[in-house]
Chains A and B, each alone.
Chain A
Amino acid sequence: MTWISLKLLRALVTMWLVLTFVFFVLRLSGDPTMVLLPDDVDQATRDFYRAKWGLDLPLWEQYTSYLRALLQGDFGVSFRNNLDAFQVVWERVPKTALLGLASIAVALLIGMPLGVLAAVYRNSWLDRIVMSIAVFGFSMPNFFLGILLILIFSLKLRVLPSSGSGTWQHLIMPAATLGTGFAAQIARYTRSSMIEVLSKAYMRTARSKGASLGQRVVRHALPNASVPVVTVLGIKIGEMLGWAVVTETVFAWPGIGRLLTSAVATRDLAVVQCIMIILAFTMVMANMLVDLIYGWLDPRVRVGRRAQA
């Protein structure tokens, strides 16, 4: 249990640091009343709203009172529509989660098998083709791929909707856009880690037992080769959240990413902060998940952890 509590403690510190950074940067980068209120309102109205949102207090006091409220589960209200900020953000979470999970699925289901094939048939034409596609895949900018897909499948062929959400057809293009780059990276990592594993002495042992190529790859090589891939995946989830903002904007996907862009533009402080907390939390959870998968994949980690606890 020590292991879990240590992890949680570290996670809390991380989240606090992220939050503090966002809090001060936002407040130092402009006055929300200038953006939210019409240009011609008088100074008295401005002051009224500033007092209402607590922006007239010294920065330090704003910070402490915000933290105090946060500890009681109060994320503040959205400046734009006076709704609870958490409520506003939470509504969008399922959409982004759906997009994210679909993209990870795309990345793994395409990237892992391709990487394995490329490694097993190393230096063959198959390997070269796979690796060329991979280079193409991750050197293609995300938004560009998105626009390209819209041009082809929505405007030209008219088979998929270009924006919005609701049906599974809506999901295809955003998930493909977000997943392709990661599939390419996963393929590369899988290939190199697989190549290393294939040269290990225990692979020869498996061969001398008389195991077929398929058995050797699936039972012996893959569990070992996935360990570094999982690590990479854990790191990439953060990157993926970043790209999700772009993808959601391109496809008008009503998720957290789009909310974040508009909230930053309008200086909707409470909403931005709430999104940041949720993103940081997601990252932390993803990392813990990665650690759990580690233990499941690699008995050496399991034992070490037990010894530490």
Chain B
Amino acid sequence: MTLALVGESGCGKSMTCLAIAGLLPKRGRVAGGALRIEGRDLCALSEKDARTLRRRSLSSVFQDATGGLNPVRSIGWQVAEAVRLRKGATRREAQAEAVRLLGRVGLPDPERRAREYPHQFSGGMNQRAMIALAIAGNPKLLIADEATTALDVTLQAQILDLIADLRESLGMGVIFVTHDLGLVAQNADRVAVMYAGRVVERADVADLFAAPRHPYTRGLLASLPERQRKNERLSTIPGTVPTIDALPPGCTFAPRCPRASERCAADVPEMALGYACHHPLTPAPAPVVRREREYS
């Protein structure tokens, strides 16, 4: 399954991913909560056990693939290292596995390419190499944090296809982090919308786009040029995103929300029924198509 984590810059979606992957910077720490992978709570485990569990079951791909690869090591070496660390293979086995993985992600002539270095690769090829590195050791969960944002659209589409293909053939779950609602619509099964450090709405992708419950979600969708008639003004969300050190009390979206009341400025809304809002939008009647699919 693919879960999309969507939100604007500074909403905390990347931090969430880093926390899941155990890659938070030194200063940051998980202040509370639970994180379960296959039923085991990572936060309750010892640091060593948590690291082992993470190494075996999840891996991540980030936006800047070229920067994410070590410039002084060959591509093959870097993928092979991941294989060795995750599976404990011998050097030679790992090398062969690395070449196989590079071929699997669609690099032509993987044997030769494995000996090359990141600066000899294009951005798209480096992202493929990063994906090869991430799927070494068959992780259960792949976190793709803005993995295609830096790429051109034609390339982006191909990388997304690759991730979808790998997800099916390897049976991985994918957490897909993005700010691009188009990518969410095209790739996700479920969606979590984040705003200023909190998840404000959670839903199946079809429901979210058809009938958003949270006013922020609706505002986001409405501001997309694609969902607008041509020549019409785009609808906007007034104001700006609050910075994390100056969050408003109560509902963080209240100052920008057309439906906000006094209660919103005081109480933080709890997440229930898939949204965190005191004044949710009423859902539109479910489209007929969906119901038919449910019965069949």
- Which A residues form the contact surface with B (CB < 8 A)? 200-202, 204-211, 215, 219-220, 223-224, 297-300, 303
Residue numbers in B under 8 Å from A205 (CB-CB):
62, 68-70, 78, 130, 133
Residue numbers in A under 8 Å from B54 (CB-CB):
210
Given known contacts A223-B72, A298-B72, A300-B71, A201 and B62 CB-to-CB distance under 8 angstroms = yes
Residue numbers in B under 8 Å from A215 (CB-CB):
85
Q: Tell me which residues from 16 to 42 in chain B have a Cβ below 8 Å from any Cβ of chain A.
A: 21, 23
Per the CB 8 Å criterion, the residue count for chain B at the interface is: 28
The answer on a CB contact under 8 Å between A208 and B21 is: yes
**Does B73 belong to the interface (CB within 8 Å)?**
yes
Given known contacts A204-B62, A300-B119, A210 and B55 CB-to-CB distance under 8 angstroms = yes
A207 to B85, CA, bound (A): 11
Quote the shortest CB–CB distance from B23 to chain A (angstroms): 6
The answer on a CB contact under 8 Å between A202 and B68 is: yes
Residue numbers in B under 8 Å from A224 (CB-CB):
70-72
The answer on a CB contact under 8 Å between A209 and B68 is: no
The answer on a CB contact under 8 Å between A206 and B70 is: yes
Residue numbers in A under 8 Å from B120 (CB-CB):
303
Q: Jot down 14 A-B pairs with beta carbons below 8 A, ordered by A.
A: A202-B71, A204-B68, A205-B133, A207-B23, A210-B51, A211-B85, A215-B85, A219-B73, A299-B72, A299-B74, A299-B117, A299-B119, A300-B71, A300-B119
Given known contacts A200-B67, A201-B62, A202-B67, A220 and B21 CB-to-CB distance under 8 angstroms = no
**A interface, by DSSP: helix, strand, loop or mixed?**
helix
Quote the shortest CB–CB distance from A191 to chain B (angstroms): 16
Residue numbers in B under 8 Å from A206 (CB-CB):
70, 81
Nearest chain-A residue to B79 (Cβ)?
A209
The answer on a CB contact under 8 Å between A299 and B71 is: yes
The answer on a CB contact under 8 Å between B51 and A201 is: no
Given known contacts A201-B64, A202-B69, A209 and B86 CB-to-CB distance under 8 angstroms = yes
**Does B82 belong to the interface (CB within 8 Å)?**
yes
Task: A205-B78, A299-B71 given; name 12 further pairs at CB < 8 Å.
Answer: A201-B62, A202-B67, A204-B62, A209-B59, A209-B82, A210-B51, A215-B85, A298-B71, A299-B72, A300-B117, A303-B117, A303-B119
Quote the shortest CB–CB distance from B261 to chain A (angstroms): 43
Nearest chain-A residue to B67 (Cβ)?
A201
A-B contact count (CB 8 A): 67
Quote the shortest CB–CB distance from A283 to chain B (angstroms): 27
Given known contacts A204-B23, A205-B68, A220 and B85 CB-to-CB distance under 8 angstroms = no
The answer on a CB contact under 8 Å between B23 and A208 is: yes
- Which B residues form the contact surface with A (CB < 8 A)? 21, 23, 51-52, 54-55, 59-60, 62, 64, 67-74, 78, 81-82, 85-86, 117, 119-120, 130, 133
The answer on a CB contact under 8 Å between B81 and A219 is: yes
Nearest chain-A residue to B81 (Cβ)?
A209
Residue numbers in A under 8 Å from B23 (CB-CB):
204, 207-208
Nearest chain-A residue to B55 (Cβ)?
A210
Residue numbers in A under 8 Å from B85 (CB-CB):
209-211, 215
**B interface, by DSSP: helix, strand, loop or mixed?**
helix
Quote the shortest CB–CB distance from A194 to chain B (angstroms): 14
A20 to B81, CA, bound (A): 55
A282 to B85, CA, bound (A): 44
Contact residue among A207, A211, A298, A300 (Cβ-Cβ distance under 8 Å from B81)? A211
The answer on a CB contact under 8 Å between B119 and A201 is: no
Quote the shortest CB–CB distance from B94 to chain A (angstroms): 12
Nearest chain-B residue to A304 (Cβ)?
B119
A201 to B60, CA, bound (A): 12
Quote the shortest CB–CB distance from A175 to chain B (angstroms): 31
Nearest chain-A residue to B71 (Cβ)?
A300
Given known contacts A204-B23, A207-B23, A209-B82, A220 and B59 CB-to-CB distance under 8 angstroms = no
A298 to B118, CA, bound (A): 12
Contact residue among A204, A211, A220 (Cβ-Cβ distance under 8 Å from B73)? A220
A309 to B145, CA, bound (A): 41
Residue numbers in B under 8 Å from A219 (CB-CB):
73, 81
Nearest chain-A residue to B143 (Cβ)?
A208
A202 to B118, CA, bound (A): 11
Scoring B70, B71, B85 by chain A CB atoms within 10 A of each residue's CB, the highest score goes to B70
Residue numbers in B under 8 Å from A220 (CB-CB):
70, 73
Quote the shortest CB–CB distance from B48 to chain A (angstroms): 11
The answer on a CB contact under 8 Å between B59 and A208 is: yes
A270 to B95, CA, bound (A): 60
A299 to B133, CA, bound (A): 20
Residue numbers in A under 8 Å from B78 (CB-CB):
205
Nearest chain-B residue to A227 (Cβ)?
B72
Nearest chain-B residue to A198 (Cβ)?
B26
Scoring B55, B59, B71, B130 by chain A CB atoms within 10 A of each residue's CB, the highest score goes to B71
The 10 A-B residue pairs with the shortest CB-CB distance, nearest first, are: A210-B55, A201-B67, A202-B70, A299-B117, A201-B68, A209-B82, A223-B72, A205-B68, A210-B85, A209-B85
A202 to B74, CA, bound (A): 13
A202 to B65, CA, bound (A): 9
The answer on a CB contact under 8 Å between A209 and B64 is: no
A207 to B133, CA, bound (A): 12
Nearest chain-A residue to B70 (Cβ)?
A202
Nearest chain-B residue to A224 (Cβ)?
B72
Residue numbers in A under 8 Å from B86 (CB-CB):
209-210
Nearest chain-B residue to A122 (Cβ)?
B26
Quote the shortest CB–CB distance from B30 to chain A (angstroms): 16
